[in-house]
Structures are given as structure tokens and as C-alpha cells.
Structure 1
Amino acid sequence: MAGNSQRRGAINKSKKGASVGTGGHRRRGLEGKGPTPKAEERPNHKKYKMAKAAEKRRPSAPRKRGDEGEWAAGRNSVLEVLRADVPVSTLYIAEGIDRDDRVREILSIAVDRRLSVLDATKQELDRFTDSAVHQGVAAKLPPYEYAHPDDLLVAAQDAGQVPLIVVVDSITDPRNLGAIIRSASGFGAHGVVIPERRAAGMTASAWKTSAGAAARVPVARATNLTRQLKAYADEGLMVVGLAADGEVSLPDLDLADGPLVLVVGSEGKGLSRLVAETCDQLVSIPMASSLESLNAGVAAGIALYAIDQKRQA
């Protein structure tokens, strides 16, 4: 019976004297500790240790292109990068290598540009360059800082000029991308937009082919190219795509003097279907023979030249 101190065992007899019950001391001592944690949350439990080991084995999420720097390996490659004024953060020279004319020129350029030059072992260079044939010389390129597509419109507005933007659709050859950037710089474009995925980025090859133009013309990345083209159209720009079967010949293009986006397709397939459907006009470059074709870099250069001539006229 509750509260009955007469029941057997209810009174604790000790040297300190008799006491009745616990008075709730044990219950109050357990208050505030909460429920017992799950096995996976207790550091000394087997399941906790198994979960932590699984996390270590799980591969990390891949980095986006452009978020990491790039390596140039080999004496010729590093020398070409430096001659083309490609940005370099650090040069690595293996200890005790034969310093031929190329190495001496590399060091001379590094001194002129005040680049950081560090000693490295062959094993370190193997690790840095994924075991490429580095010949004791490697250069670390910093990550390229891509612009936002809206920045290109702002640049045109700040300059008080009619916007001209080049968009490349799934071009995978960085040399073609570099050639397009070079033409964009030469014919007054305010920037180049590339897709974020499945396309060439600003690698050392693109930098070299641009012949330094990549330092003058901003390159932006778009997550969704079709959506970006529609955003440009909403801002009042006409979207023109280069296509072999375009309904308008380049000399007959009458949109050149207005706000314009020129879209250049990939080397093999040209414009993708959704991009082609988003264009206001598809323009073809007249050729002397139907069997002849132009790569993306050359086609962009011809189209930008024609647009520039119409704007000046």
C-alpha cells in the first residue's frame, strides 16, 4: 500500500537511525539526462565507429571546373605558358636538374614577373602533376575567376556601347575557345559565355590560344545556357545563332547594329536543339563549296568581323 511505512522493508535501519523510504532522491537524480542516445551517436559503441569508418571511405563531392588551379608540366609547356602571359601562381623546379636554355629562360621570365619559384623533389612533382612527364619543371596556374553573365551587360552599359556578347554552345576544344575569345577581343565583344558543364573551360591551352585576350575579355559561366539566352532576350538583346542551314546569310544580317548575342555551336554537332530553338535567327556563312566547313573558332571570327563592319558602317 502506497505510503504505508508499516510494510516490510519500508524502514531502513542503519547506524544513523531509521529512515522512511527514499523520499524521491533517486528519481530526482535521474532527471534532466534525457533519453539514451542511439548506438550510432555514442562514441564508444561499435555502430558509431562503423559509421565513422564508412564516412571516411565515401568519396567527396567533385569540385566544379574552375574551382581548382591547373598544372603545366614539362619544360616546353611551362615556357609556352610563360611566353603567352598565362597567369602563374608558383613555379616548381626539381633539385639538381640540368639547366638548359629553356630552364634558364623560364627562370629569367619568372624573375621579370616576380613569380614565386620553389624547389621540389622529383617525387613531389610526380604527385603534383599526376605523374606527367614534367622534366623537373612544373607551373601551378591559379583558378580562373569567371564572371557572371549579367556582368557583361553591365560592362557594355558602363562603356556606353551597344552590347555584343558571344555565347559558345558545348565547345569542348579549349583551343577553339581561346580563338573565340581572341576574336571577341579584336572585334569589340563585351564578353564570352560558356556552359558550366560538358564544355571547355579556361585551361592553359585556352589561355595560350587567346594570345593574352583572356586577360582583357571577361568569360562568364552559365548553369543553363537556354535559360541565360532567354534572360538576355528579356533584356532586349537579339539572339543570333551560327548554323550551316541558317535561313539568313551572314551578309544579309540586319540585326548587327543592335544589342546582339552571337551563339557559336560545337565543333561537330553545331547548335544543340534547345539552343537553336531559342535563337531569334539562324545565320549561315556562305561558302564556295558545300563540302567545305569551318571550325568553331574560325566561324566565330568571320561572324564577329562581319558584325563589326556593319556596326562601323
Structure 2
Amino acid sequence: MAQAKDKNMNNKNNQADTGMVIGRHAAQAAINSTQPVNKVYIQEKLKSDALHDLAVSARKKGIVVSRVPKNKLDMLSDHQNHQGVIVSVAPFQYAELDDLFAKADEAGEPPFFLILDEIEDPHNLGSIIRTADAAGVHGVIIPKRRAVQLTATVTKTSTGAVEYIPVMRASNLTAVVKELKKRGVWVFGTDMAGQDYRQFDGASPTALVIGNEGKGISPLLKKNCDGMLTIPMGGHVQSLNASVAASLLMYQVYTSRGK
């Protein structure tokens, strides 16, 4: 049963690089990026200034724009809300760890990374990446297995932020944490018993570990963190959505850096 589960998860992850960017904001970000774009599909007979501007941008860059029926877009997007546009791109190029440090160096800031431990919901991943872009994160690290990858849904939910935030895939997150610590980065996880996140100072090189929606952070990964942060709650449900928890922690680092 375990082998079958792993196989199904691997098949799901293999669909990550579908090459389809869905939705207007995500499509515009893809066109504006350096990522190779194969073609832009726009729904025929749909009048929209935003779609017109998007088509103009694409043609200026020499990208083929094709007007197609709505059912074609429905099929390409697996019946998601495509907003009348889909961009076919080359498979997403994942970053290396050095790329994440390079982005921090380019910004002239102490490194600030996110480590996502087996996040399974593509909407959570997309939302986290969107907030990461706003909060000055220099890179996101995800596992290669048992976690959602960069799918079309993730790209759409991020509203194109995946084009600006380097995303690294790691075979072993614990090994990455150990390497980050060797390079002077402090690594903090989340736990019910930990330092109040509102007193946390993230001005130093920092990596935050966000755990799985149901299981939290794996024991081995938690063991290798430098410390734990907790988000005080006064309600009856003592847990937060992974993307909400990540947002609170990211903005604590953002504000502690004087931004």
C-alpha cells in the first residue's frame, strides 16, 4: 500500500511542469518574464481591455497569439477558472541553493528563505509564494516527493509570483537545513510550544520552516531547527491554515527588518 501511495504521489508530482499558465495576472507575469513562452491562447469573442493589452504585449515579444473557443481553454485548464487566457510555457526551471543566496546578495539583504515541509494543497503553495514575493523572501525550498510541485493551479493562485521567487526542489530537506546552518542561516520552525513569533527578530539570515497542513513539521526536520516559533491563538480551533501561518511569520521577519 505504501509503495502504491508513493507511486500515485510521484505521478501527481510529474504533472507539475504542465507548461500551462492560467489566468490573466499569471499570464501577464509569464509574458513579462524571461521564461520561454511557446504560445498564448485567448478566448475568441471575449471582449476585454486586459486581454487586448496582454495580446499586444505578447506580439511585441514575438509570441504567437491564438484565438480559440472557450471549450479549448476549458480543456487545457482542466476546467479551472482561466479568465479567458492560457499561456503555454517551457517547463519550469527550478533553482539551485546558490541561486537563492544570489538573489539575497543582489538585493543587498540578509538571506530570507522559506522551507515548506510536504505542503500538499496547490492553493496553499500558490498563496504562500504570492505572500513570499510581497514580504521580501529570497527563495522557497520544497521537497521533490510527497508534496505539491509548481502546477498550473499554483501559478494561477500565486498571480504570477512564481516568476519572481526562485523555487528549489530538494531530495532531503534535513540536508538542506544543515547546509543553510553551515552558511550562517538561522532556521526556525513552528510549534505549539515555542517563542511567541511577535517577539522574534528576523534581521539575521533566516529560514522559516512551514509544516504539512495536517502533520506539521517532520520530527527529524524539527530536531535540526535552531528554535521554534508559536502563534498565540484565542479561539476554539487551535490551528491555522498553512498559508495564513506562513504569512504571519513572513511579515514578522519583514517588519523586524525595518520594512
Q: TM-score range by the shorter chain?
A: 0.7 to 0.9
Q: Residue 143 of structure 1 is aligned with which of 78, 91, 97?
A: 91
Question: Once the two structures are superposed, what CA deviation does each residue of 1:264-284 show, in whole Å capped at 9, x if it has no partner?
Answer: 112221111221111111111
User: Is 1:258 matched up with 2:204?
Assistant: yes
Please name the residue that 2:114 is paired with.
166
Q: Do the aligned residues in 2 keep the contact of 1:242 with 1:263 (CA within 8 Å)?
A: yes
- State the structure with more CA Rg: 1
Please name the residue that 2:139 is paired with.
191
Distance 1:305 1:191 in 2: 15
Q: Residue 70 of structure 1 is aligned with which of 4, 16, 19?
A: 19
Structure with greater proportional strand content: 2
Q: Residue 176 of structure 2 is aligned with which of 228, 253, 264?
A: 228
Query: Structure 1 length normalisation: TM-score?
Result: 0.64
Q: Do the aligned residues in 2 keep the contact of 1:149 with 1:222 (CA within 8 Å)?
A: no
The range that moved more, 274-283 or 154-163, is 154-163
Distance 2:100 2:45 in 1: 44
Query: Structure 2 length normalisation: TM-score?
Result: 0.76
> What is the 5 A alignment of 1:113-132?
113-114=58-59, 115-117=63-65, 129=76
1:205 alignment partner, SS class: helix
Q: Residue 155 of structure 1 is aligned with which of 99, 103, 121?
A: 103
Deviation at 1:160, TM superposition (A): 2.9
Distance 1:153 1:189 in 2: 11
Q: Do the aligned residues in 1 keep the contact of 2:23 with 2:156 (CA within 8 Å)?
A: no
1:112 alignment partner, SS class: helix
User: Is 1:89 matched up with 2:89?
Assistant: no
Sort the Cα spacing of 1:138 and 1:182 in 2 relative to 1 into closer, same or farther, 3 A. closer
> What is the 5 A alignment of 1:280-295?
280-295=226-241
Distance 2:18 2:64 in 1: 16
Deviation at 1:263, TM superposition (A): 0.7
Unpaired segments ≥5 residues, structure 2: 1-9, 32-36
Question: Once the two structures are superposed, what CA deviation does each residue of 1:140-177 show, in whole Å capped at 9, x if it has no partner?
Answer: 23211111022212322343321111111111112211
Deviation at 1:301, TM superposition (A): 0.9
By relative contact order (CA 8 Å, sep 6+), the higher-ranking structure is 2
Q: Do the aligned residues in 2 keep the contact of 1:185 with 1:217 (CA within 8 Å)?
A: yes
Distance 2:114 2:160 in 1: 18
Q: Residue 205 of structure 1 is aligned with which of 138, 149, 153?
A: 153
How many residue pairs match? The answer is: 239
Distance 1:154 1:105 in 2: 34
Percent of aligned positions that are identical: 35
Please name the residue that 2:7 is paired with.
none
Please name the residue that 1:246 is paired with.
193
CA RMSD after TM alignment: 3.5
Distance 1:78 1:158 in 2: 30
Sort the Cα spacing of 1:133 and 1:265 in 2 relative to 1 into closer, same or farther, 3 A. closer
